[in-house]
């Protein structure tokens, strides 16, 4: 089983076919960065048309058992998420509405301070806000996963501890391996995993050691050592693949509507653009390379299967429905 915990590709029939060629059974796709509620609904509509156009390749995923259906019918189950809480605007009631439409993940922040928590680019980390705590409770109730991939340290630790259900960092790497602002320090990964949460490893070059020149061995050795430290059952893949996107999309991701200036990102002085992918992972047909790499660094067949999809499947099964007794 192969499950990718996060992608934001420029979707097309070509990519849908590559998902099938790569044996990808399920993906979590971003359908909102800075969109408000109505704009996010339009993105749901766009995906509904793709499900109608390519029923032999993709299907809407809402529950873990949809992955079983996808596997049985040779398709990829697509699960939706947001990289920002902008789709709920300032209305906690929209949490349940969006879950009913098919949303299954929502980041509490995207780099900046939000109404809910602090992003990883802010100088001061205030942790969860009053509204943030209420939204966490509501997300727990309906089955919308709390994603802290772009959040700061204190906010992530507080979310992991305050949430009554396991949370996720869907796409990041350990800060000790590659010290990017977006990568996660030991205390953060520990808080998430000790509370039953999931950590998805990213192949986005800005978050890799040696960037685009990162080797497969280095990446897989990092995964193996992380498994030694935090337990293999809490780990998965969240590639953060942004295939075929124009560079202008990076500007939308970073700038959105909050500034008139260009946000250059981590330490860069040039206009934002997508970096070159590592040679061993350029598109969805390359998941086999990661599997082979994990075996090469000494991981067992069972451990590799857990990281490539088994752990995400269990997490989906436990996370997407209403809270028991709630």
pLDDT digits (tens, 9 = 90+) for 280-326: 999 999 999 999 999 999 999 999 999 999 999 999 999 999 987 65
217 pLDDT tier (thresholds 50, 70, 90): very high
The sign of the dihedral angle between the CA atoms of 272, 277, 282, 288 is negative
pLDDT of residue 13 exceeding 60, the answer is: yes
Residue 255's domain comprises 3-319
Q: Total structural domains in the chain?
A: 1
Write down the pLDDT at residue 323.
85
Task: State residue 269's pLDDT score.
Answer: 61
**Is 325 among the domain residues?**
no
Residue 152 lies in a domain: yes
For residue 326, is it within any domain? no
Residue 265 has pLDDT above 70, yes or no: no
pLDDT at residue 262, rounded to an integer: 79
Which segments within 142-289 are labelled E, that is strand? 145-147, 168-172, 198-201, 235-237
* CA gap 161, 192 in Å, rounded: 8
- In degrees and rounded to multiples of 5, residue 62 shows phi and psi of -125, -30
pTM score = 0.95
Res 126 pLDDT > 60: yes
* pLDDT number for residue 247: 87
pLDDT digits (tens, 9 = 90+) for 151-174: 999 999 999 999 999 999 999 999
pLDDT tier for residue 254 given thresholds of 50, 70 and 90: confident
For residues 64 and 313, what is the distance between their CA atoms, to the nearest angstrom? 6
Residue 197 falls inside a structural domain: yes
Strand ranges in the chain using DSSP code E only, listed in sequence order: 3-7, 26-32, 58-60, 76-82, 103-107, 145-147, 168-172, 198-201, 235-237
Calculate mean pLDDT across residues 185-210: 97
Task: Please check whether residue 146 is in contact with residue 167, taking contact to mean a CB–CB distance below 8 angstroms.
Answer: yes
pLDDT per position as a tens digit, 219-251: 999 999 999 999 999 999 999 999 999 888 888
User: Which residues face 60 on adjacent strands?
Assistant: 78
Question: Can you tell me the distance from the alpha carbon of 317 to that of 63, in angstroms, rounded to the nearest whole number?
Answer: 7
Residue 324 domain-assigned?
no
């Amino acid at each position: 089983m192969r499950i990718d915990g996060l992608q934001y590709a420029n979707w097309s029939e070509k990519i849908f076919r590559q998902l099938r060629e790569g044996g990808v059974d399920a993906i979590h796709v971003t359908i909102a960065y800075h969109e408000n509620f109505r704009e996010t609904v339009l993105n749901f509509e766009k995906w509904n048309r793709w499900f109608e156009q390519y029923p032999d390749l993709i299907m809407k995923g809402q529950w873990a058992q949809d992955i079983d259906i996808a596997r049985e019918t040779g398709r990829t189950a697509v699960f939706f998420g947001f990289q920002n809480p902008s789709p709920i605007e300032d209305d906690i009631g929209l949490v349940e509405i969006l879950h009913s439409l098919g949303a299954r993940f929502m980041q509490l922040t995207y780099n900046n301070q939000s109404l809910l928590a602090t992003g990883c680019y802010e100088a001061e980390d205030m942790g969860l806000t009053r509204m943030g705590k209420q939204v966490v409770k509501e997300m727990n109730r309906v089955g919308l996963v709390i994603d802290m991939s772009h959040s700061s340290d204190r906010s992530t630790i507080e979310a992991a501890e305050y949430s009554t259900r396991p949370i996720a960092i869907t796409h990041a790497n350990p800060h000790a391996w590659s010290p990017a602002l977006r990568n996660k320090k030991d205390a953060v990964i520990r808080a998430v995993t000790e509370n039953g949460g999931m950590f998805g490893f990213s192949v986005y070059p800005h978050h890799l050691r040696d960037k685009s020149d990162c080797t497969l061995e280095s990446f897989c050795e990092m995964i193996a050592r992380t498994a030694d430290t935090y337990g293999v059952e809490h780990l998965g893949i969240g590639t953060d693949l942004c295939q075929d996107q124009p560079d202008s999309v990076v500007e939308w991701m970073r700038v959105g509507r909050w500034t008139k200036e260009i946000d250059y990102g981590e330490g860069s002085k040039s206009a934002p653009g997508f970096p070159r992918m590592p040679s061993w992972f350029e598109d969805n047909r390359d998941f086999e390379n990661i599997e082979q790499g994990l075996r090469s660094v000494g991981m067992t067949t069972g451990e590799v299967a857990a990281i490539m999809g088994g752990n995400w499947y269990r997490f989906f099964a436990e996370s997407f429905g209403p809270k028991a007794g709630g």
